Structure 1
Amino acid sequence: MRNHNEHVTVSAMSDPADGSVRVPGSKSFTNRAIILAMAADGVSTLTGPLESDDTRYGLAAARDLGCEVDVGAGSVRIHGVGARRPVPEATLYVGSAGTVARFLPCLLAFGDPGTWRLEASPQMTARPMSGLLDALAHLGGPVVPVGEPGRYPLEVRGGKTVGRELRVDGSISSQYLSGLLLSAPLLPEGLRVTTEGSVVQSAYVDMTIDCMRHFGAEVSGTGDLAVIDVAPTGYRPADLDVEADASTASYFAALPAVVGGQVTLENLVRGSRQPDTRFVEIVEQFGCDVEWLGDRGVRVTRPRGLDLLRGGGDLDLRDCSDVALTVAAMAVFADAPVTVRGVEHIRSHESDRIAAMATALRAMGITVDERPDGWRIHPGSPRFAEVTTHDDHRVAMSLALVGLGGDGVGLDEPRCVDKTCPQFYDLIAGLGAEVRWDEA
């Protein structure tokens, strides 16, 4: 159980950062692989998976549904059940894991008969699910809310799908589309999905399709993802080496930009499908030097003569919105205002991230123009402040960066980073940061 009374003070770094980081495995790849391994009829091994709150909820659901799960040092072995449901009735808890919350209902609905209740944390319960539920209504409504319409908790009825075609609004969340696709090979006739509107963060859907094919699925469709056809192949077991998480990597790539020095990200993959790999280009736009060390590994260095980061940019981050807060943190230390736009959907994530970041930066003495889809951030010298993380991992890690480059910061609920990077405070300490824990 997380201690919500904990508090962390992150002190200003007096010396430049210097060192290497092995970034934890990708949350996106790990959670997709867990679902696919469950849906395969046999044993799959995931190497280098993320070990975090989100992935633990996914593995717990696998066990609760009758899969054998063996967690080892740096790997996890899952004996999947395909479309079979050895446990036809159960209550499953997804915590605040957004991807698990969107992927699991489809896996259960598209398999053999059974009835399951899915529950979530208050944070996840507040997040919308109507886009997925509206899409599933085309298949007879196998997933229905138990309480408030369009939100968790849910009841899922397996073996009740009707038809093989549906429409989904792609402009709300790529997770809805990915959730439908991941389990579509289990349906007796497969599935044709037609998307309405442009698909937000389409690279994550491309990642989903890559992973599906790795486990034996046959997927075809238009390049713009307007129509996608999935054949009723089921899945075969497969082994997968999980690459580094590009979203998490952004905080460590930004550290030398904020405090000076250099940091090597040992295992970031060049040419990754993860859209947040774009952050490497963004940190270069801010004036840092970037050197790829082959296909894996990148070194980020802030040049000695660069007193302030290069500002003045207007960045549309719709395709990589998970790094929007990291960019906002760097913008504080630029030589001109920076505009971040196109990320209105992050208001419905673990917190209203646009409002949360604006409020915290203002408390630290930074002028922020909050906009519906982002911010215009005016550079300044951030002062020490006690700020709230809203129990949001990305808010906590981004504000830690501002504190490291400014006059320090106090964070409530600091263990929210366990969602994607439980080692965060240890890793920044290894690069020269001073972190002090105490009770709030």
Structure 2
Amino acid sequence: MHVHIEKSKLLGNKAIQITGSKSESNRALLLQALFSNINIKNLSNSDDTSLMKKALASNAELIDIHHAGTAMRFLTAYFAVQENREVVLTGSSRMKERPIKILVDALRALGADITYLENNGFPPLKIKGKQLNNSSVELKANVSSQYISALLLIAPVLENGLVLELKGTITSVPYIKMTLSLLRQIGVETSFKNKVITIKPAKHPTPKTTIEVESDWSSASYFYSVIALSEIGAELHLKSYKTNSIQGDAALAHIYEEFGVETEYTKNGIQLRKTTDVLERTNINLDLSHAPDIAQTIVVTAFGLHLEANLTGLHTLKIKETDRLLALQTELGKLGADVEVTENSLKLKASKRIEPNIAIATYNDHRMAMAFAPLALKTTITIEDSDVVSKSYPNFWQDLKSLGFNLK
């Protein structure tokens, strides 16, 4: 399915309820599978979370998680500690190209029994669950934080807990802190000092806990872009957001000030307002190593406002659903942008015009589809394979339509 969006204009002040955070939901589900007295509210309705939930409830010997990267990492750790259970964990052809060796090596160091069934270092994996007797391990810290979180989530059921030493520069620290925060919510003792994370074994029984999942900040990014690309005075209310968020992408509130968007925290969410026009000579310089998932949205916003942008800290984008840096360079290029990419950075030169009636390829990547959609406020655009958004935000197109976007 493709979505064709005629050049659109935002309707008056509207309110949108975005689904619960996929990152929080998937962590909470894994903890709930390990500790049955956990209740979860506002769970994400994304494909990734549905796949995670289904996999955790399944007794099958073959578990296929399709494109869900978080589920692949978290379930690798989860099944490694399920005593007397043997599973094969697989995914889509792209998933079989996404590295998992660093996590498997760490789990093996703790005593896990995991075998590669096709290519060394990549899924599918054969996992024989057992009690893991070791409690200390080292891990390269400049890789996906999901490897780190996967280990932290199973740590409370290890006999002696876990001491995890991180080597090198740590990527995506907010996601690690999110995991630690959820562990503390269920009564687990944690500490994170000088690149060493210590998790104590869980007390038995763990206290009865309700985890209320905050709405997804990554998904909010597309509406920040909508307001940034609108005229002064444009407003929008997003429900179920908290001031002290445990999501790293809450950095959006500060980042989008550079695009003239103000964030006001209300009793049950955030009010976004376009307060100032951004001068075309403005340069956007950001290190996104702690929030790489919002890079696509930010660069498209900058392009739509004819700004120059220099984004760094993007090395994890090359191993996502697609090579996101290459995909951005290709698709922005179609629209007339001049984009240079390296292994970990993207440079966008300021451009005077936006080519109309361009079809944007999405590469099986939900964020490509959603990041480019707000450009319809500037020009007519087509988003190919638009149903890919269900991976994280199934209601995205309906919500965009409710704001006045002219979708066909």
TM-score range for the pair, normalised by the shorter chain length:
over 0.9
Residues 192 and 198, structure 2, Cα contact 8 Å, conserved in 1: yes
**Which sits farther off after the overlay, 370-379 or 425-434?**
370-379
Taking a change above 3 Å as real, the CA distance of residues 406 and 21 of structure 1, as seen in their structure-2 partners, is same
Conserved? CA contact 2:86–2:129, under 8 Å: yes
Partner of 1:71: none
SS at 2:245 equivalent: coil
Q: Which residue of 1 aligns with 2:19?
A: 24
Q: Distance in 2 between matches of 1:319 and 1:193?
A: 20
- Give the counterpart letter for 1:379 in structure 2: S
- Say whether residues 1:98 and 2:69 are aligned partners: yes
Measured in 2, the distance between the counterparts of 1:405 and 1:344 equals 30
User: How many angstroms does 1:233 deviate by?
Assistant: 3.6
Cα 1:27–1:206 shift into 2, 3 Å = same
- Count residues with an aligned counterpart: 403
SS in 2 for 1:244: coil
Q: In structure 2, how many angstroms separate the alpha carbons of the residues matched to 1:357 and 1:413? A: 16
Runs of 4+ with deviation above 6 angstroms: none
Note the residue ranges of structure 1 that are not aligned, 5 or more in a row: 1-5, 66-88
Find out whether 1:167 has 2:138 as its counterpart. Answer: yes
What's the TM-score once normalised by structure 1's chain length?
0.87
Moved more, 284-293 or 130-139: 284-293
Encode CA deviations 1:60-99: one digit per residue, 9 max, x unaligned.
Answer: 112214xxxxxxxxxxxxxxxxxxxxxxx62112121111
Shift of 1:16: 5.7
Question: 2:142 aligned with 1:147, yes or no?
Answer: no
Q: 1:194 to 1:268 in 2, by over 3 A?
A: same
Q: Does structure 2 conserve the Cα–Cα contact (< 8 Å) formed by 1:118 and 1:152?
A: yes
Which of 330, 342, 345 is the matching residue for 2:313?
342
Alignment match of 2:248 (pick from 262, 275, 285): 275
Between the aligned partners of 2:334 and 2:325, the Cα distance in structure 1 is 14
Q: Distance in 2 between matches of 1:366 and 1:16?
A: 28
Deviation at 1:308, TM superposition (A): 5.4
Tell me: CA distance 1:385–1:401, structure 2 relative to 1, closer, same or farther (3 Å): same
1:123-160 deviation digits (Å, cap 9, x = unpaired):
22221111101212312342222111111111111115
* 1:299-339, Cα deviation, whole Å (9 max, x unpaired): 22223x62757731211111111110110011013354121
Report deviation, 1:15.
4.7
Q: Distance in 2 between matches of 1:399 and 1:105?
A: 33
Q: Contact between 1:366 and 1:380, CA under 8 Å: does it hold in 2? A: no
Match of 2:53 among 51, 54, 59: 59
The yes-or-no answer on 1:46 pairing with 2:37 is no
Q: Which residue of 2 aligns with 1:431?
A: 403
Aligned match of 2:230 in 254, 259, 263? 259
Given the two structures, how large is their TM-score scaled by the length of structure 2? Answer: 0.93
Residue number in structure 2 paired with 1:361: 332
Asked whether the equivalents of residues 153 and 183 of structure 2 are also in contact (C-alpha less than 8 Å), the reply is: yes
2:364 counterpart (391, 394, 400): 391
Matched AA of 1:119: T
Match of 1:418 in 2: 390
Q: 1:215: how far off? A: 2.0
**C-alpha separation between the residues in 2 aligned to 1:253 and 1:310?**
21
SS at match of 2:283: coil
1:300 matched to 2:294? The reply is no
Within the alignment, does 1:201 sit opposite 2:195 as a pair?
A: no
- Helix, strand or coil at the partner of 1:268: coil
**Who is 1:78 aligned against?**
none
Matches within 5 A, 1:326-341: 326-334=297-305, 336-341=307-312
Report the CA distance shift for 1:14/1:218 in structure 2 as closer, same or farther (over 3 A).
closer
Identity across the alignment (%): 27
- Structure 1 360/335 Cα, relative in aligned 2: closer, same or farther at 3 Å? closer
Residue 22 of structure 2 is aligned to residue 13 of structure 1:
no
8 Å Cα contact 1:196-1:226 kept in structure 2 = no
Q: Supply the RMSD in Å over aligned alpha carbons.
A: 1.9
Give ranges in structure 2 of 5+ residues lacking alignment: none
Report if aligned partners of 1:115, 1:155 keep a CA contact under 8 Å in 2. yes
Alignment-mate amino acid for residue 228 of structure 1? T
Shift of 1:20: 1.5
Alpha-carbon displacement from aligned partner over 1:190-214 (angstroms, at most 9, x marks no partner): 2221111122111111110111122
What residue number does 1:83 align with?
none
Question: What's the offset of the Cα at 1:236?
Answer: 4.8
- Deviation of 1:238 after TM superposition, in Å, equals 2.3
Residue pairs, 1:204-219, within 5 angstroms: 204-219=175-190
